[in-house]
């Protein structure tokens, strides 16, 4: 295919993907005077034309027919739980929903925006110092960057997005009403918390009664009109309940479209090309430098785009997949533990506790993507793990995100799956129930990884990515512990019925859980154990940078987007202030 590619005029920077990371880097690098081109495999999407309030709340179109997401008939992956099994293609989207199109996952996220704990960034050294040596099969690593280094960039992303919340730790001083377990922050959130609806206040009261310290969860849903540092205006949330899997037609959920695009897309030194699928990254004859990319456009033409710098800004799976297809870095081998590309795939482990009342009306249709109250006593290493048989943790929260009629059917345990009794149970419990969710970390393991499938290929004739993943005893023990703590709080609500739903058995790729996929091109301090350095620069090609959750060495117990934003700003600063002045490795191997 390479011989057929038509060569285009060069650019300074080519961005592969145009979601959150592509938009941030486009803005930052054009400000630095570079000519930047973004290649997006999906189509154009804009708030006024694609998410107008007259049709944005179309549950059938977006929730069930996946209008914003990857088409498995064109691009998917194969899956197995263990290396001894044969992987088969994921022919229907299920456990996670990779986005496609301008804005990426930044369009369809709920807006639950967290900072990781300081201990999360030193997960291996911290846990081994406190609890002793980890299992040889647990391939947990320190990140190579610290919370204190990232704090200014967390702040920058929060102010870009207008995050609504309440600080719990200002410059080391614990502040009442916020999260007392968070890392120290220099200033409060840019916006106050969302106005709380009834269900989370019941959780808050029960959490306090059981000795916890609840707080309003940080939200990228606007609690008031907001103008961000780029001068882009966002409007207050209307609590419509259509956030996750939907675009926001009210300009009140932070996304690339509502925070960056109005400024970036007007710049003369920025160009966006949509429906352009990048096939591989090109290298020079010595294999030490990226020279550009090859992509196929909407008309099926194969084109070569030369560039001085290549930045991978695609979804978590796609960045390591593209590195494998481009023969960048040594692929991970779980038998020897050697190699880095594909290493340390991780996910999230979630469970829930449903709570049913007779006399309390929740009105679940009044919701927002990050409208909730949480507790953090059981996240990271905020509690003593001695004798528990696991490391890691997660937050507990009561969210009221939606009461959408096709998706939301709260019914007690042992209710029939269909028929008259099921309908009666839905009618009885729709308004009078709530759920407490647990959101747990997944520690990396030597047998959880990504590689190329030997059998199946995509629409372009390339090997599909193969995902090998299962929960380990560490995850099951941790999740059971979180579920028990959530049940304790639920029982304090004195409801009619409490139904705990622990996560059991093997990981199942069919039912939706989260789109919090991580790893495969992890960051670190050693090229023998990581794909990129602390500035997200490839150890192998100094002018290749990799963004997004693929760089996470393991997945902490929070939603990942806040850290994606912080790391992107961190890398952009290093590119602008260090790399452009002296192109080459920013960290010596």
User: Tell me: the pLDDT tens digits for 281-322?
Assistant: 999 999 999 999 999 999 999 999 999 999 999 999 999 999
CA-closest candidate to residue 549, choices 339, 256, 347, 254: 347
Give percent of the chain with pLDDT exceeding 70: 99
Strands 449-457 and 463-468: antiparallel
CA 219 to mean position of chain CA atoms? 14
Residue 589, pLDDT score: 82
Q: Is the pLDDT of residue 1 over 80?
A: no
Rounded to the nearest 5 percent, the helix, strand and coil shares of the chain are 25, 25, 55
Q: Is the pLDDT of residue 3 over 60?
A: no
DSSP tally for the chain: helices H, then strands E: 13, 22
Rounded Cα gap, residues 360 and 199, in angstroms: 9
Q: Is the pLDDT of residue 233 over 60?
A: yes
Rounded Cα gap, residues 305 and 362, in angstroms: 54
320-349 pLDDT per residue, tens: 999 999 999 999 999 999 999 999 999 999
Contact present, 328 and 310 (Cβ < 8 Å)? no
For this structure, is 409 an active site residue?
no
Helix H or strand E encompassing 213:
none
Q: Is the pLDDT of residue 160 over 80?
A: yes
Q: Which entry of 321, 476, 516, 542 is annotated as an active-site residue?
A: 516
Residue 221, pLDDT score: 98
Phi and psi, residue 14, nearest 5°: -115, 130
Structure tokens at 300: 């099926």
Residue 297, pLDDT score: 97
Residue linked to tokens 């300074």? 12
Q: Is the pLDDT of residue 55 over 90?
A: no
CB atoms within 10 A of CB 147: 21
Rounded Cα gap, residues 556 and 419, in angstroms: 41
Rounded Cα gap, residues 275 and 519, in angstroms: 26
Give the chain's domains with CATH numbers: 10-80+89-579 (3.50.50.60)
Rounded Cα gap, residues 504 and 531, in angstroms: 33
pTM above 0.85, yes or no: yes
Averaged pLDDT score across all residues of the chain: 97
The arrangement of strands across the sheet holding 463-468 comes to: 88-89, 77-80, 463-468, 449-457
506-552 pLDDT per residue, tens: 999 999 999 999 999 999 999 999 999 999 999 999 999 999 999 99
Residue 2, pLDDT score: 45
Q: Is the pLDDT of residue 112 over 90?
A: yes
Q: Is the pLDDT of residue 86 over 50?
A: yes
Rounded Cα gap, residues 175 and 180, in angstroms: 7
Residue 263, pLDDT score: 98
């Amino acid at each position: 295919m390479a011989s057929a590619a038509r060569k285009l005029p060069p650019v300074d920077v080519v961005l592969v993907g145009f979601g959150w990371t592509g938009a941030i880097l486009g803005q930052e690098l054009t400000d630095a005077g570079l000519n930047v081109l973004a290649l997006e495999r999906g189509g154009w999407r804009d708030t006024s034309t694609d998410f107008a309030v007259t049709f944005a709340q179309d549950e059938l179109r977006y929730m069930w027919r996946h209008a914003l997401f990857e088409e498995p008939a064109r691009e998917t992956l194969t899956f197995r739980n263990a290396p001894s099994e044969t992987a088969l293609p994921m022919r229907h989207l299920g456990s996670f929903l990779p986005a496609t199109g301008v804005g990426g996952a930044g369009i369809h996220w709920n807006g639950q925006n967290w900072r990781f704990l300081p201990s999360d960034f030193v997960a291996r050294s911290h846990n081994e110092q406190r609890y002793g040596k980890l299992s040889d099969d647990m391939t947990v690593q320190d990140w190579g960057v610290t919370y204190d280094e990232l704090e200014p960039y967390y702040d920058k992303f929060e102010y870009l997005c207008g995050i609504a919340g309440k600080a719990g730790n200002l410059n080391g001083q614990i502040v009442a009403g916020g999260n007392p377990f968070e890392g120290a922050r220099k200033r409060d959130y840019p916006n106050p918390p969302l106005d709380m609806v009834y269900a989370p206040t019941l959780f808050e009261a029960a959490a306090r009664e059981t000795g916890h310290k609840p707080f309003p969860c940080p939200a990228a849903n606007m609690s008031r009109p907001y103008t961000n540092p780029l001068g882009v205006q966002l409007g207050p949330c209307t609590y419509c309940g259509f956030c996750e899997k939907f675009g926001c037609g009210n300009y009140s959920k932070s996304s690339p479209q509502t925070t960056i695009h109005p400024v970036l897309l007007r710049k003369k030194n920025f160009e966006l090309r949509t429906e352009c699928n990048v096939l591989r990254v090109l290298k020079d004859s010595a294999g030490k430098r990226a020279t550009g990319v090859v992509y196929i456009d909407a008309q099926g033409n194969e084109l070569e785009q030369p560039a001085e710098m290549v930045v991978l800004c695609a979804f978590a799976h796609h960045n390591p997949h593209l590195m494998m297809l481009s023969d960048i870095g040594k692929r991970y081998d779980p038998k020897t533990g050697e190699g880095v590309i594909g290493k340390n795939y991780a996910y999230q482990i979630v469970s829930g506790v449903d709570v049913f009342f007779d006399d309390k009306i929740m009105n679940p249709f009044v919701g927002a993507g990050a409208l909730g109250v949480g507790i953090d006593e059981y996240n990271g290493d905020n509690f003593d793990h001695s004798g528990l048989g696991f490391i890691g943790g997660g937050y507990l929260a009561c969210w009221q995100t939606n009461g959408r009629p096709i998706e939301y059917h709260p019914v007690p345990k042992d209710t029939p799956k269909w028929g008259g009794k099921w309908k009666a149970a839905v009618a009885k419990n729709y308004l009078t129930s709530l759920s407490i969710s647990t959101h747990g970390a997944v520690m990396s393991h030597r047998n959880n990884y990504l590689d190329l499938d030997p059998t199946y290929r995509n629409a372009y004739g390339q090997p599909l990515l193969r995902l090998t993943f299962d929960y380990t005893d560490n995850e099951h023990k941790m999740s059971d512990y979180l579920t028990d703590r959530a049940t304790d709080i639920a029982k304090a609500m004195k409801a009619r019925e409490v139904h705990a739903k622990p996560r059991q058995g093997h990981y199942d790729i069919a039912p939706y859980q989260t789109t919090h996929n991580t790893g495969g091109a992890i960051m670190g301090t050693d090229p023998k154990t990581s794909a990129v350095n602390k500035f997200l620069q490839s150890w192998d090609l100094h002018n290749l940078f990799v963004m997004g959750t693929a760089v996470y060495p393991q997945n902490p117990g929070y939603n990942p987007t806040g850290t994606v934003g912080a790391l992107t700003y961190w890398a952009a600063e290093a590119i602008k202030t260090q790399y452009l002045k002296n192109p080459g490795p920013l960290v010596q191997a």
